[in-house]
Structure 1
Amino acid sequence: MLLDAQWTHRLLNEGVDPVIWRVHLMLIFMMFATRYLPKKYMIIVSLCLGIVFDLYYLGLIGIYAVILPLIIWMMYLVHKFLFENIFNLFFGLIIFITSFEILNVGLQLMFNLITVNPLYFVTKVLGPTLLLNMVLFCVSFFPAKKLFWN
């Protein structure tokens, strides 16, 4: 979680154009962890991490405390198909990160925490975030496979 925030902050400061690159390493490794760790444990851990993330970054409990367990639950729903091959994992990651970002923006819009143009969100937030996390998935797949597979 700390690496996610540090890399995201670093990438925000590097660019001239206001493109938001959001790193989701925690989500990538949680997806790998769902292969062996029990559902109840992962949902409780994601709830606790969501609360910590909410308190530290947003100052209120609710946004990430809802989104993270929901995404983990979605991972367990497609668990049987997710780990058949690397392509299913890759496209599953795209679906989970897209869901995470849309739920994040949707909840923040619902509580009037942000105002965002949908075109700006897709082109300056979602697109770069997906691209960056696809590259991170490709880089982290083999170390994570060694860690979470037999």
Structure 2
Amino acid sequence: MAFLKNRYFLLFTLFLLMLIDGQFSYLMSSVFTYHVTISSHLLLLAIIYFYHNQTKYFTIFSSLFLGGLYDIYYLNRIGIVILLLPFLVIFTNSITKTIFSSNFQTLTFFIIVLFMFEIVGDVCAVLLGMTTLTIANFIAYGFAPTLIFNILLYLIFQKLFKKVYFNA
């Protein structure tokens, strides 16, 4: 059972969650019209629980590694998530354990992390010329459905992720 709490094994499960996120996102976006894009962020939910109490060097190097894999797999270029994910992980690591005492506080923190990931990622994509979508269209057709879907995922998976990743 100690193997399941090994941080390197849990880091591998974060990679698997990244792949599962892609499948959830594809499934949900194919259910709705082509204007609506829904992104699953189970990876961010697991990261909130996993990185809150890790060492500084493990946090930075593993988040750089995961960010690089995310960039290559989803964006076909390195640049956005490889920089954004370490900042979010350092932000998560700096939060005290008291934020996890209440489900409402954790949900609020998850919404903040999700907001930062989506909005900063979209602004970077616009600046790099990867998208021409306006911020109003992004919020209406991308961020709002993504936020609602991820709140539902939080309500479903929160207890499981807290049990698996918290204090690992």
- Tell me the TM-score normalised to structure 2 length: 0.82
Give the RMSD, CA atoms, in angstroms.
1.7
Q: Residues 24-47 of structure 1, C-alpha deviation per residue, up to 9 Å, x if partnerless?
A: 001100101123433431232121
SS at match of 1:116: coil
CA distance in 1, matches of 2:100, 2:92: 10
CA distance in 2, matches of 1:49, 1:84: 27
Match of 1:103 among 120, 131, 135: 120
Counterpart of 1:145?
Answer: 162
Percent of aligned positions that are identical: 27
**Letter in structure 2 aligned against 1:8:** S
Alignment match, 1:30: 47
1:46-104 residue CA offsets vs partner (Å, 9 max, x unmatched):
21111112122222211110111111111123335422322111000000000000110
Q: CA deviation at 1:134?
A: 0.7
Q: Which runs of 4+ in 1 moved over 4 A?
A: none
Q: For residue 95 of structure 1, what is the amino acid of its counterpart? A: I
Structure 1 residues 1-150: aligned runs within 5 Å: 1-16=18-33, 18-149=35-166
Query: Is contact 2:52–2:95 with CA below 8 Å preserved after alignment?
Result: no
Q: Across the two proteins, how many residue pairs are aligned to each other?
A: 150
Q: Structure 1: where are the runs of 5+ without partners?
A: none
Structure 1: distance between partners of 2:94 and 2:154:
21
Q: SS of the counterpart of 1:16?
A: coil
- Say if 1:39 and 1:129 are closer, same or farther in 2 by CA, change over 3 A: farther
Distance 1:35 1:78, change over 3 A: closer
